[in-house]
Amino acid sequence: MRECVCRVVAMASCARAVWLGLKLLFIAGSVSVNCASRSDLFDYGAQFGDQTLQSGNDETQQVHLDRAVLFFQDSFEKVYVNTNGFVSVANPPAQSEYLGKMPATFGIIAAFLGDLDTSDGVGKVYFRQDTSPELLQRIGEQISQAYPDESKLEPTHAFVVTWENVAAQGALERGDGSHKKRNTFQLVLASTELTTYAILLYPKDEMHYFSAPVGDESRAIEAGFSQGQIQGWVWTTQGPYYRIPTNVQNTNTRELTELTNSGTRGVWVYKIGSSTFFTDIIPGHVTTVVENVFPQEATENPEPRYSGMGEFTEDPPYEAETTLPELSTPETIPPEPTLPETLLEVKPVIQDQSYLTYNHQPPRITTLMKSTRYLGDPGQSTHRW
Q: What is the largest CA-CA distance in the chain?
A: 154
Q: β-strands 157-168, 183-191: how paired?
A: antiparallel
Per-residue pLDDT at 379 exceeds 50: no
Beta-bridged to residue 113, according to DSSP, are: 222
pLDDT at residue 250, rounded to an integer: 82
Q: What's the CA dihedral at 81, 195, 204, 98 to 10 degrees?
A: 40
Q: What's the CA dihedral at 315, 319, 324, 327 to 10 degrees?
A: 120
Helix (H) or strand (E) holding 124: strand 124-130
Helix (H) or strand (E) holding 183: strand 183-191
Report d(CA 42, CA 48) in Å as an integer.
10
Per-residue pLDDT at 328 exceeds 80: no
pLDDT at residue 298, rounded to an integer: 36
Residues 188-213, mean pLDDT to the nearest whole number? 96
Q: Which amino acid is at 195?
A: T
Band (35; pLDDT cuts 50, 70, 90): confident
Q: Give per-residue pLDDT as tens, 80-117.
A: 999 999 999 999 999 999 999 999 999 999 999 999 99
Query: Could you tell me the pTM of the whole model?
Result: 0.68
Residues 154-172, mean pLDDT to the nearest whole number? 93
DSSP 271-284: EEEESS---S-EE-
Share of the chain above pLDDT 90, in %: 56
Per-residue pLDDT at 342 exceeds 70: no
